[in-house]
C-alpha cells in the first residue's frame, strides 16, 4: 500500500524542476548524470521507475536507475544535498 514517487531537493524545485516533464530536458538530464537513485532491486517503487524508463515516450526514457540499499540511497541523497548537487531519488509514503 505504499505510495512511490521521485523526489528532488528544494533547491531543484526552486530552479523549476516540478514534475516528470522537467526531467526530460537535456540540460536537466545532464546535471543529473542521467541517473535516478532507487532502493533494493525488485522493490515495487524501482519497478515502477524501470517500467517508465523503458517506455520510449516517457520523460525519463534513457535514464539509468541506480539500485542500492535504502541506507545507500539515503547516503547518496544526503551527500548530494549537502553539496547542492542535483539528484532525483525514490521517495515513498
The alpha carbon of 53 is separated from its chain's Cα centroid by a whole number of angstroms, namely 11
- Domain total in the chain: 1
pLDDT in tens, 6-17: 999 999 999 999
Nearest residue to 73 (alpha-carbon basis) of 24, 45, 36, 37: 37
- What distance separates the 2 farthest-apart alpha carbons in the chain? 35
Q: Which residues pair with 90 in a beta bridge?
A: 6
CATH number at 64 reads 3.40.190.100
pLDDT of residue 14: 97
Q: Which domain holds residue 73?
A: 4-92
Distances from the Cα of 21 to the Cα of 26, 35, 48, angstroms: 11, 15, 16
pLDDT band at 84 (very low <50, low <70, confident <90, very high): very high
pLDDT over 90 at 1, yes or no: no
The model carries a pTM of: 0.93
pLDDT band at 2 (very low <50, low <70, confident <90, very high): confident
Q: State mean pLDDT over 23-46.
A: 95
Residue corresponding to grid cell 524508463: 53
Amino acid at each position: 500500500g505504499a505510495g512511490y514517487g521521485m523526489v528532488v531537493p528544494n533547491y531543484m524545485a526552486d530552479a523549476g524542476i516540478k514534475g516528470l516533464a522537467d526531467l526530460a530536458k537535456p540540460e536537466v538530464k545532464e546535471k543529473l548524470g542521467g541517473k535516478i537513485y532507487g532502493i533494493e532491486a525488485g522493490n515495487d517503487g524501482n519497478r515502477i521507475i524501470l517500467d517508465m524508463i523503458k517506455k520510449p515516450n516517457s520523460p525519463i526514457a534513457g535514464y539509468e536507475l541506480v539500485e542500492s540499499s535504502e541506507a545507500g540511497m539515503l547516503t547518496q541523497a544526503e551527500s548530494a544535498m549537502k553539496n547542492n548537487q542535483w539528484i532525483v531519488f525514490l521517495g515513498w509514503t
